Structures are given as C-alpha cells and as structure tokens.
Amino acid sequence: MLSTWTPPARDGTPAGDELLVAFDRGRDLRLLVCPTWFDEANKLRRFTLEVMRRLDGAGIDSLLPDLPGCNESLAPLQQQTLEGWRADMTAAAEALRATHVLAIRGGALIAPHGLAGWHYAPQSGPKLLRGMIRARTIAAREAGRAETAEALMAQGRAEGLTLGGWAIGPAMFAALEEAEPALGPGQSEIAQSTVGGPGLWLRAEPGEDGGQADRLVARIAQSLAGAPL
Amino acid sequence: MTTSHNLDGAALDLELKGLIADVLGLDPEQAQAFGPDSGLFGHLPELDSMAVAGLLTEMEDRLGIVIEDDDVDGEMLETYGGLRAFAEAKLGGR
C-alpha cells in the first residue's frame, strides 16, 4: 500500500522520491487523489484514507501521492510553488496512469484538467490564506503582540510567511492570493451539503465520520455510473 | 454557501450553537445547552487560534457577515454570550 513516486526534476535538479499511498490492484478505474494542505491536511488525512479504503471496496484503485514539501518529503516546503505542485500532480497522474481525479478542498487548485473527476468542497486560495492569517493574528493578540492581517499579507508576498507552523514561500503565497478552483472538462463539484454533516476541516481537532466517507464514495460511484450529481 | 439572513434571536442561537457543535465535534444537543456565560476561547482546550479562525470564517459564510481584524477581541470570544452579542450587532448593522 505504501510505495514511492518520483516527481519531475525542477531547474535541472533531480527531485527526491516522495511517498505514495496506493490501493492499486491494476483495475480499470484509477483515481488520483489531490489532498488538501496545511492545517486541513491534518484534519482530513484520516478521512481521505477512509474514502480510499471505501473506493477500494467499490472496485476503484486510488493513488495518493505526497507532494514535495509535504509529510515525509525531504524537500523544503518554503521552496514549493503552486505552479510546481500543479506540474507534480500532472506528472503523477501520468506516471501512475490515473483515469480520474478526486480533489479535496485546496487540492482542487492543482487538480490536473486532463482527467475527469470531482472536486470535493473546493476551497479558494484567498479563503485558505484568510483562515490561516486570522489564526495567526488571534494567536498573536493572545500573546500580547500586535499583528495586522494587512502587514502579514505584505510580508507573505515579500518574503513568505509561516502560518500555523507551515512555512509558505513568497511565490506560493502570491499565487494563493489569486487562486480560484476551476472545473476541468468532465469534472464536477461535490458540495459538502450533498455529503451531509459538518465538514471535518471545521473541527478543532482531527476527527472522523464514516458516514460522510460512505456518502462521498457513493456519489463518486453514482457519477461513474452516469447519474447526475 | 451563503444563506440568507433574516435571523431572529432563536434562529441565530440555533445557527451559532450548531456552528460551535460542528467545530468542537459535539452532539447538537450538547451545544444547545450553552448559556450566555458558557466559556469559549481560553476555556475549551480544543478551541485554539486555528479553530477560532475556522469558526469566524464559517460565521461569515453562514451568517453573511464580514468580520474585520479589529472586531476580534477577547471579550467576543470569551463566552457564548459575547459571541452572540457580536453576531447580533453585525447582523443589525448591515
């Protein structure tokens, strides 16, 4: 279930291998999973794997590649860019012979447009930044420091910014400020309201909800069978 | 997910308590037991700055309000009553 994949070299520097979680039984349907990032990645990791287990049970292979700078990666997060991650996911789709894509939250911002698939509760870059900036100003206030969102945004653009413990480089920061999820051909959105219950990213601490995972996979299976979402 | 917002007191109460239940992973009934003096930020260990940020962002979406940096202070976050009064003022001020 655990293996590795090799992201493309960047600027002539060969990239190191990254981890890959795969339910790969060589079936016809192979779903690339673009996970969410940063703080939400912790909260949704278990949910993401629960969805993959259910896809496996439904006869669908699924592949979850780690992006450079995330999880066990040796690459520094601060040097990653949105464009780079998008290229990585496109390369992963090809290398892993994915037939479909499931993007989760911010993952929708880098979902390869060449694959049909689904964006689950897609999140825009500005909203993602806004939440993390807000957390930082609240924490600063509690600690007796004055930080304004405006000054932090300027700092993020100029030199990058650490938000919630995640070191976001200036290029990534600037790109997120403009990034809106867009559906590619054959892609559709699965809103949280259709899955039911509160989104697990809202939780103060990582949680799980088997019912939500069941319903999300049921939607995907229906969609594959040609039913409208 | 912006809904419309002619929230009277009871509806606002329901919405806010539902939101807190979503963030803390509580049963809705448990959150419905919150009173004006129920402690939030600084009282509930799960409610750290990241969770509060999520709560405020979700309030913006569900109540259709915009919360500025300067709006956020200890008082509005300390108790359920404080948060409710803040939401009421925001809704009334539009």
* A67 shares its domain with A18: yes
A161 and A108 assigned to the same domain: no
Residue A11: left (phi > 0), alpha (psi -120 to 50), or beta?
left
Judge: B72–A127 Cβ closer than 8 Å, yes or no.
no
Residue A92 and residue A201 share a domain: yes
Number of domains in chain A: 2
Report if residue A105 sits inside a domain: yes
Confidence (pLDDT) at A81:
97
B14 touches chain A (CB under 8 A): no
Q: Considering the domain boundaries, does residue A152 fall inside one?
A: yes
Inter-chain CB proximity A202 and B1 less than 8 Å? no
**Does one domain contain both A109 and A137?**
no
The answer to whether the beta carbons of residues A75 and A169 sit under 8 Å apart is: no
Q: How far apart are CA A33 and CA A103, in angstroms?
A: 6
User: Is B23's Cβ below 8 Å from some Cβ in A?
Assistant: yes
Query: Using CB atoms within 10 A of its CB, is residue B67 exposed (0-12), middle (13-18) or buried (19+)?
Result: middle
Token representation of residue A47: 């949910």
Cα separation, A34 vs A29, whole angstroms: 16
Cβ contacts of A136 on chain B, cutoff 8 Å: 49
Neighbours of A147 (CB within 10 A): 17
Residue A132 shares a structural domain with residue A210? no
- Whether residue A185 is contained in a domain is answered as yes
Distances, alpha carbon B66 to alpha carbons A6, B23, B59, B60, in Å: 43, 19, 9, 6
Q: Please say whether the beta carbons of A168 and A7 come within 8 A.
A: no
**Inter-chain touch B72–A39, beta carbons under 8 Å:** no
Chain A interface, best mutation among B49, B68, B71, by max A CB count within 10 A: B49
- Using CA atoms, how far apart are residues A120 and A216, in angstroms rounded to an integer? 8
Residues A116 and A131 in one domain: no
Q: What is the mean pLDDT of residues A84-101?
A: 97
- Mind listing the domains of chain B with CATH numbers? 9-92 (1.10.1200.10)
Could you read off the pLDDT of A32-60 as tens digits, one per residue? Answer: 999 999 999 999 999 999 999 999 999 99
Dihedral angle sign, alpha carbons of residues B86, B88, B92, B94: positive
Domain that holds residue A149: 125-180
CB within 8 Å: B54 and A131: yes
Would the CB atoms of A141 and B72 count as touching at under 8 Å?
yes
Residue A194 belongs to some domain of the structure:
yes
Average pLDDT over residues A151-178: 97
B69 touching A, CB under 8 A?
yes
Instruction: Tell whether A96 and A152 lie within a shared domain.
Output: no
Same-domain status, A68 and A176: no
**Residue A102 to residues A15, A60, A116, A161, Cα–Cα distance (Å):** 25, 12, 9, 29
Q: What pLDDT does residue A31 have?
A: 98
Percentages of chain B per state (helix, strand, coil), in multiples of 5: 60, 0, 35
> Hunting for tokens 């030199």 — which residue is that?
A159
Q: Which residue of chain A comes nearest to B22, CA vs CA?
A: A198
Judge whether A173 lies within some domain. yes
Q: How far apart are CA A75 and CA A113, in angstroms?
A: 25
Which pLDDT tens digit goes with each residue over B46-62? 888 888 998 998 899 88
Is A88 within a domain?
A: yes
CATH code assigned at A203: 3.40.50.1820
State the DSSP code for A152. H
Among A110-114, B10-14, B55-59, B64-68, name the most confident range: A110-114
Contacts of A127 in chain B (CB under 8 A): 57
Yes or no: say if A177 and A168 are a contact pair by the CB < 8 Å rule. no
Residues A191 and A211 in one domain: yes
Domain co-membership, A150 together with A51:
no
pTM (two decimals): 0.90
**In a domain? residue A100:** yes
Residues A83 and A172 in one domain: no
Contact A204 B57 (CB under 8 A): no
* ipTM of the modeled complex: 0.79
Please state, in angstroms and rounded to a whole number, the distance separating the CA atoms of residues A169 and A197: 34
Whether A131 and A54 map to the same domain: the answer is no
Answer whether residue A229 is part of any domain.
no
